[in-house]
Homo-oligomer: A and B are copies of this chain.
Amino acid sequence: MRELRAGILGATGAVGQKFIELLADHPWFKVTALVASERSAGCRYSEAVNWIGTADIPASMASMEVLPLGGDLPCDFVFSGLHASVADHAEPHLAKAGYPVISNAKSYRMDERVPLLIPEVNPDHIALIHQQDWQSNGYIVTNPNCSTVGLTCALKPLHDCFGVKAVHVTTMQALSGAGYPGVSSLDALGNVVPFIGGEEDKLVHEPNKLLGFLDGNQLQKASIAISAQCNRVPVLEGHLECVSVQLDSNTTPAGIHQAMESYSSPIADLDLPSMPAKFLNIFDEERFPQPRRHLDLGQGMTVSIGRIRPCEVLDYKFVVLSHNTVRGAAGGAILNAELLIKKGFLHPRGNF
């Protein structure tokens, strides 16, 4: 398979940097375009970026010239780490220009023609791409919000086995979810902020799209009642969520455990490079999972679950942990792109 050329939109931002870090040695993709705001365009990437990663900027990208949005891009498709305010306009513009846009931005996640995708959960939703009529080969595919992804991965086996009727979720979200500089240290240190703008609304809607099914060309969303309470806690990476679920049919804690443990990922045989060895990792120790300890399981792509037990109000409760900047952002988008290749939706764009 020929290596595909990837562009990164919003390359100097926190999500953009994570794309660069994760794509540095990717076997299928080669980063050939770094796109940022007018202010950065024309600079070498290493000069334009305030690099926040713990490793160095990958040498191959440090010296690349940053490109502006707007012109032709020397790549076969783009990853978008744009802020929604920019993505609103830029992503359809690029799709129309013929670029597949694999986006982490929230702008088009709930658009009914745009797949909102977690490969292990709803790979068939890719078919929605055919609803997108940009008069070109371009399209938009999105991954869910960082707090949605862990919850939805945990709900999927339960929804398949028992039907999920209602969900109550309280999140304890990491600081890196707010980007850089993001949260002031004076608000973060030794404190909890019980509010994250727009977050609870995403948790109400995105899982229902992700757990919906395709009825012909139409996506029928699930109709799970979801109540979310979102908190920012002084943790660097890793969103921890306390979840209670109400189910359509009866089971036991062991039944919940079994459903999760034996969940058969629909992409298990595709051998995608970013797919973790274990999609869901279930802990028996009641003090696990913990963000600092279990963040990096499966290179940050495994979703960890623990403390499965009966709920006195709904039916069962448990704890979910996922890596917010890998599985919940750049890593999730890259896995989406890998799936798109395997499914025949990503190709070389011709010479230029």
Using a CB–CB distance below 8 Å, which chain A residues touch chain B? 52-55, 166-168, 170, 172, 175-176, 180-195, 204, 225-227, 229, 231, 233-236, 240, 242, 244, 246, 286-296, 306-307, 311-314, 317, 319
Q: Which of B194, B317, B319 contacts A306 (CB 8 A)?
A: B194
7 contacts between A and B (CB under 8 A): A166-B313, A168-B244, A175-B189, A194-B287, A194-B288, A229-B317, A231-B240
How many copies are assembled?
4
Q: Which of B190, B296, B313 contacts A234 (CB 8 A)?
A: B190
Q: Is the CB of B227 within 8 A of A192?
A: no
A311 with B227: in contact, given A185-B183, A190-B292 (CB under 8 Å)? yes
Bound: A78/B246 CA distance, A: 47
A54 with B190: in contact, given A170-B229, A172-B172, A185-B184 (CB under 8 Å)? no
Q: Which of B54, B190, B194, B306 contacts A236 (CB 8 A)?
A: B190
Q: Which of B188, B244, B294 contacts A189 (CB 8 A)?
A: B188
Nearest-Cβ distance from residue A248 to partner chain B, whole angstroms:
15
Inter-chain contacts of A294 with B (CB < 8 A)? 54
Inter-chain contacts of A291 with B (CB < 8 A)? 190-192
Inter-chain contacts of A242 with B (CB < 8 A)? 170, 194, 229, 231
Bound: A183/B185 CA distance, A: 6
Q: Is the CB of B289 within 8 A of A194?
A: yes
Bound: A226/B288 CA distance, A: 23
A193 with B290: in contact, given A170-B170, A186-B181, A229-B242 (CB under 8 Å)? yes
Inter-chain contacts of A289 with B (CB < 8 A)? 194
A190 with B293: in contact, given A175-B185, A184-B182 (CB under 8 Å)? no
- Please indicate which of the listed interface residues A54, A166, A182, A186 has the most CB atoms of chain B within 10 Å of its own CB: A186
A319 with B227: in contact, given A190-B189, A234-B189 (CB under 8 Å)? no
